Amino acid sequence: MKEKEIKTPRAKGGFRKLLSCVGEYKAVSILTSVLVAIEVLFEVFIPLIMAQIVDVGMSEDSGAGFTFSLNLGSISAPIFTLQNRTVFIVVCGVLMIVMALLSLMCGALSGKFAATASTGFSSNLRKKLFYKVENFSFANLDHFNTANLVTRLTTDVTNIQNSYMMVIRILVRAPFMLVLALCMSISINPTLSIVFAVVIPVLVVGLLVGTKFAFPKFEAMLHKYDDMNESTQENLIGIRAVKAFVREDNEVKKFKKVSETVQKLQFSAERIIVIVFPFMQILVYTCIVCILFFGGRDIINTKGLGMSVGDLTAFLSYVMQILMSVMMVAMVFMTIVMSRASMDRIVEVLDEKIDIEDGEDAKDITPVDGSIDFDNVDFSYKKKEDVLNLENIDLHIKSGETIGIIGGTGSAKTTLVQLIPRLYDTFNGSVKVGGVDVRDYKIENLRGAIGMVLQKNVLFSGTIKQNLLWGNPNATDEEMYHAAKAAQAHDFVMSFPNGYETDLGQGGVNVSGGQKQRLCIARALLKRPKIMILDDSTSAVDTATDAAIRGGLKSEFADTTVIIIAQRIASVESADRIIVMNDGKIDDIGTHEYLLENNEIYRDVYTSQQKGSADEEEVSENA
């Protein structure tokens, strides 16, 4: 089956956006181009000296000496005259060597500066990209998956780095050499130079045609790179599940399939290049043969009075310089073709409008307390009124209250609490914290006052202490111990040989799910938040530990408003009030006793869980 080509929207002003990342490397970039231009100047003058050596070596000694002249068409400027043929040849040879060495030095320096400029440019671009992603809201992150962003930060940026290096070096060298060598060729023999009028347009047309067909292939290939990275990432993150279910062969097949797709698309794109370059080489060698034929015939017919052997030698050198310049331009264009797709993908991220930012009138204040007010709130992930995920939420929570939230899967429990720290913005209505609309706070101040433990518990590479200090980098060891004890994490941490200096590894692979949850709760508590949100954050701990955590929160953080989303009634039955969610709406609010008596959904959940517990006890007794 033919792979469907996925098109990235063409970015407007993409080059300008990317060039802004050159920053402090502008001077180095310009210096690179200047050195390349000087290198080309030396290279272009070398064939002129070589022509003088050939002509002098084949000429007869007239007694008037041997004159080194700079011949540019009808202009002939004598530079110096020497009486001895051998001395003349040696002097010209030394001059060629000096020019070659100077050209080599300029080339080496330009290469060094080009590497500095391109790597600096790519470093700035990666920083800009990463900073943009770090400022994405949850809604922005919904537009890009992780593997997609990783590809853009790595492969795509590397493609653009290579293109930038070629632009400041080869794309300066090739056109400059093309123009100078063409001028020199015309000055030597205007008639013979007509061959370029035929060859160069054909080369350009071939280049443009190859570019047109190659670009969609490279673009599709980069999208498949995303799929390959996603497959790799999923496999590595879930490697324990893969092994537990003995699905290694399935994962290998899945990776092999996407890898082969990338290979096919890359081969398809490279095949176009493979066809274009031999075509260009055929034109180059045909051009050389024609020049040798017509130039040699002119020398024979005029007996050297029209075009000398030295002129033909220099002309051939310029032919190679001209045609190699065209080939270099072709190579740069093919690289730019591939990087153009990368550029569009990067600019797509840079152009992504961050939908949650500090407003112009945002106040540099922190919430005075943990009170929360939902005033007739509607919310839609799609931002459409006919597709509401939350509808007509009118809820008022006092500071210091403990609120439980119960509801079935898809009832929008998590969506509700994500509006409090402004991870998403409301569609209609307003959410207030401490009596102030969350949109009127600076985001940093608002979220700094809210501790949130998400459904997916995330720990980072490093020690337990380093992870906990995410909550408050300036916390003392005593404060850290206090938070860990409230989260029932201190005892198991101290059971490790290195205690709080225990290395967790990537993602906390060497702690259990329950331990990971408790560490995440401790990290959030270390902020001393005014509002604490636990989104099903005790599901992996036993009921006794769950109760101990709630007790620790009540006794040690009594002034903190606590919101607990849970599947177990036992986790919320002691809450001051419990919210029952159903299909994006609040079905009822009340105490455990009130809901048990008056709410059917709550009663059904409670009954089913009580029956499940009774069945488990019966099985245990029979065993």
Query: When comparing pLDDT for 617 and 350, which is higher?
Result: 350
pLDDT for 118? 93
pLDDT for res 435: 92
Length of the chain: 623
Question: Which candidate, 453, 461, 469, places its Cα nearest to that of 520?
Answer: 453
pLDDT digits (tens, 9 = 90+) for 553-581: 888 788 899 999 988 888 888 899 999 99
The separation between CA 22 and the C-alpha centre of its own chain, rounded to angstroms, equals 17
Residue 250 pLDDT > 70: yes
User: pLDDT tens-digit profile of 321-378?
Assistant: 887 887 787 778 777 776 777 888 888 888 888 888 887 788 888 899 999 999 999 9
Mean pLDDT in residue range 450-460: 83
Higher pLDDT residue, 503 or 457? 503
- Please, what's the b/e burial string for 468-484 (b: 16 or more CB within 10 A of its CB; e: otherwise)? bbbbbeebeeebbbbbb
Q: Give me the percent of the chain exceeding a pLDDT of 70.
A: 86
DSSP state of 24: G
Q: What is the tens place of the pLDDT at every residue in 460-477?
A: 888 999 989 988 888 899
Gap between the Cα atoms of 99 and 39, Å rounded:
9
What backbone torsions phi and psi does residue 557 show, to the nearest 5 degrees? -130, 55
Q: What is each CA distance from 433 to 449, 450, 553, 556, in whole angstroms?
A: 10, 10, 20, 22
210, HSE (Cβ side, Cα atoms, 13 Å):
28
Report H helices in 435-542: 443-448, 464-468, 477-486, 490-494, 513-525
pLDDT tens-digit readout, 277-303 = 777 777 777 877 887 887 777 777 766
Query: Would you call 395 exposed, middle or buried from its count of C-beta atoms within 10 A (0-12, 13-18, 19+)?
Result: middle
Q: State CA 414 to chain mean position distance.
A: 29
Mean confidence (pLDDT) of the chain: 82
Sheet-wide strand order for 402-407: 450-453, 531-535, 561-565, 402-407, 577-582, 585-590
Pairing of strands 450-453, 372-379: unpaired
Query: Which pLDDT score, from 0 to 100, does residue 263 have?
Result: 79
Q: Measuring CA to CA, which residue among 585, 566, 564, 559 is closest to residue 575?
A: 564
pLDDT tier at 222 (50, 70, 90 boundaries)?
A: low
- Write the CB contacts of 176 (distance below 8 Å, at least 6 apart in sequence): 36, 37, 40
Tokens of 538: 């005790």
Position 5 scores a pLDDT of 41
pLDDT in tens, 87-112: 778 888 888 899 999 999 999 999 99
CA distance 270 to 610: 65
Give the C-alpha separation, 191 to 169, whole Å: 32
